[in-house]
Amino acid sequence: MTTFSIIFPLLFLVSLGFLATRFKVFNKDQIGGISKFIFNLCIPVFLFLNMYKAPLETSLNTDALIVFYIPVLTIFALGFILNKLIAHKNNSNFSASATYALGSSYSNTVLVGLPIIISAIGPHVMGSVFFIITFHSALLFALTFLLSQINNQSNKFNWQVFFKSVLFNPVVSSITLGLIFNALKIETPTQLNNALELLSKPALTGALFVLGANLSFYKISKDWHMSALASTLKLLLLPALVYGLGKYIVELDKELLAVTVLLSASPLGVNAYLIAMQLKQYQTTLASTVVLSTILSVISFSFWLSILL
């Protein structure tokens, strides 16, 4: 399959969502309703079913976790340092730097990375994908909030609410439940399984459409240079580090290397913008980075697919 054949259907769906809201076929409230249906029902069911069916003996690979997460944490640290050097030379605003670090390293693994991987490699690698992304949000969000509290005593963060939201996050809970059912070999009734299969079908299509629709609500801000830097770290340096570590040091097999690189080459996830809203830091910058990195990811994915396939 050519790179164009892989990229075009996904780009078409994202563009369709963008145009549908740009020309007011759907308004923001209607997209919000569609988003809830997709993210609270379809995607969790999709993740549960695929984790439930995944071959566990070949899905969990600690080398893949190392290859993905060491570069992610390296880019997080680099984003933190660069923000201190460029934007906050004369103060110690850890909260702003932590938020910017998140915007430089957090990947849209479910909405963008997963469809690309399924199209390029096939659904048989989804078990490995799920083991990698299960810890993704929890690790980076916890690190961001922890650093933001070091010198931000006036803005206390509710850690109990945070951990509760992580544990009951639809992505984490559905993958975990699928893993439990798989490990314990719990059989689901055929009728229920058929119904869940039907509910899961719109998951990826709807996710890409909603992603495009939401892009029309965000604008590229005046401080675009900070968004451009974050996008460069996210789309260029991060997958390059993953590729180098996975190919030349850890030596992953071809499919797992492709999985880790394509996940890391995904654009910034919109959840990073929501964290910026909570911390009241870099809201416009991260919103701009979501838009810019999503647009530029077409080039990034095309480049990496040409190397990996």
CATH number of the domain that residue 128 is part of: 1.20.1530.20
b/e map 87-99, b = 16+ CB within 10 Å: beeeeebbbbbbb
Instruction: Please report where in the chains the tokens 């740009």 appear, as a residue.
Output: 22
Q: State the total domains in the chain.
A: 1
Confidence band for 221, pLDDT divided at 50, 70 and 90: low
Per-residue DSSP letters for 64-98? Answer: HHHHHHHHHHHHHHHHHHHHHHHT-TTS--HHHHH
Pairwise CA distance, residues 63 & 256, whole Å: 9
Pairwise CA distance, residues 187 & 183, whole Å: 11
Domain range enclosing 161: 3-308
The pLDDT of 229-250, averaged and rounded, is: 97
Q: Quick count: other Cβ atoms within 10 Å of Cβ 19?
A: 13
pLDDT at 6: 87
The answer to whether the beta carbons of residues 182 and 54 sit under 8 Å apart is: yes
105, pLDDT greater than 60:
yes
The answer to whether the beta carbons of residues 59 and 185 sit under 8 Å apart is: no
Say what the pTM is.
0.86
pLDDT at 275: 85
Three-state secondary structure call for residue 202: coil
141, pLDDT greater than 80:
yes
Confidence band for 94, pLDDT divided at 50, 70 and 90: confident
Instruction: Please report where in the chains the tokens 């957090």 appear, as a residue.
Output: 106
Q: pLDDT by residue (tens digit) across 43-75? A: 999 999 988 988 877 778 999 999 999 999 999
Confidence band for 117, pLDDT divided at 50, 70 and 90: very high
277, pLDDT greater than 80:
yes
C-alpha R_g of the chain: 19
